Chains A and B, each alone.
Chain A
Amino acid sequence: MKLRIWAALALLGAAIAGGAAFAAAPEPYAPTPELIDAAKKEGKVVWYTSTDVAVSEKLAALFEAQYPGIKVQVERAGAERVFQRINQEYGSAIHNVDVIETSDAVNFVIFKRQGWLLPAVPQDVAKYWPEQTKDADGQFAAYRAHLSVIGYNTRLVKAEDAPKSHTDLLDPKWRGRIVKAHPGYSGTIVTDTYALSQTLGWSYFEKLGQQKIMQVQSATEPPKKLAVGERPIMADGNEYNIFTLKEAGGPVEAVYASDGTPIVIGNAAILKEAPHPAAAKLLYAFMFTKEAQQSNSDAGGLRSFHPGVKEKETRVPLSKIKLLYSDPAKLEAAVEELKKKYEEYFGT
């Protein structure tokens, strides 16, 4: 089932590996008693993340339960905001962050080039993660994947009336009815916008810009706006928030568009200048364990690269979805133009 992702991710892996002359990943590591002791002495680990705050706090709580005495400070914002923050902080030689994780794969291409990342390969990553989902030099790995989907409120829209493709969103009947997140804030939406502009062309966004959309920032927010009935349709947003809201009884449903659904890879890494190096390694290893990944899937609705993770029956497996992949190397070159065009079509 996951073969299709792997195949397409070969593209991603190749692009990443292409930059490095020597693929030199360090030996895999597992938490040792010494590492745990050292981490407990540090007492704290700072994690910058772009995963929904409830989902990331859940993982932090799991970690704290497993390693009492080490507090996780979760700093949650959109990928683009996290990226801006770390750049501002590093620009001023402020090294607050231990572990970083965002939904914009381009971020990690840049971090690696700047030499900010510490090569470290947790045992689980070495053992279970497909080659294409981890950096050849062991500097980062795919902590999660998720989709940016179309969605609708099931109380306001009947399943048969719901849009089936992105081009369906351009129907005049959805004018003023659509909520959408912003690529200036969300890495998910950067990836989504790039993938769709490649498949459907920029004219799709130009027309969508005429639909009087409600513009929110985070890709976590459109599902929340759907659930409260603020808008009946979302043009893009996190599949995982749709899962969690739906499983909590919210009237929301995802649409896997006939013209394709963008997949978003969320990488994670340890910073070289981490102020809590031992705790950083411990958290980083923990993030890829089966336990953590299973919890991300069950409680957070995230997709996992750990082959041992079992998805809930109710979730549509990735193998049945037409996925759109983005190549981070190409996306990096396109991103400034993308944000400019977006402002032109959507006003902000």
Chain B
Amino acid sequence: MIKTAVTLGAMIVVAACGPTAATSTGPARTTLTVFAAASLQPAFDKIGQKLQGANNIVTTFSYAGTQTLTTQLTQGAPGDVFASADVAHMTTIESGGLIRGQSAVFAHNRLEIAVAKGNPKGIHTLADLGRSGLVVVLADPSVPAGKYAQQALAKAKVTVHPASLEQQVTGVLSKVALGEADAGIVYVSDIVTSGQVDGVAIPDAQNVIADYPIAVLKGTQNVTGATAFVDLVLSTEGQTILRAAGFEGV
């Protein structure tokens, strides 16, 4: 339900931007549908606006958890571009013969501990999350963010008794932001774009780096537009937008 609201919100934002004045000399206006992991929304909304200004391509985004998007695409949902929050789901799409050409990793995201502003509980390491009396919330292991969090905790040899296993990473973030949880493990980009929580860095030796691959989908009716979108994401301009949203470039 939250995902649908977010998707609708994104559609309204895109629609509200409206058509730019199409000059008779500019390229004809075309449309594009991009299936993208929920964590990409702040960055991809901006990239979509750039693309519309430069190439007169109106992009509609379907943001959801990567696992949900993968299910939709394998069930035949029509789209032009797919951006995944992990390589495993892109591989599923790729081996299903659903992409055109090859996928390319365009960004990395690392994990961070989300805590209340000012870090009142004094959480500085993953080991602190094992303290008793601390309310810790994680994403469910079926969600990429939850899988990564488990890997990170295993590397740090910490046993955590989570109060809840949220069905998406934004659920973890909102529980910390609302003060119900003392800490949660989310992506750096979530903390950067949320602004409502503080982040505690996790050292490289314990961290898990998520790779985000992107690909043009085989069923696309707009190869030029889809390729232009992927190129823009991989360009210096696109990478700058992604970095500003808390991702690491490639």
Q: Do A and B bind each other?
A: no
Residues of B in contact with A (beta carbons under 8 Å apart): none
Residues of A in contact with B (beta carbons under 8 Å apart): none
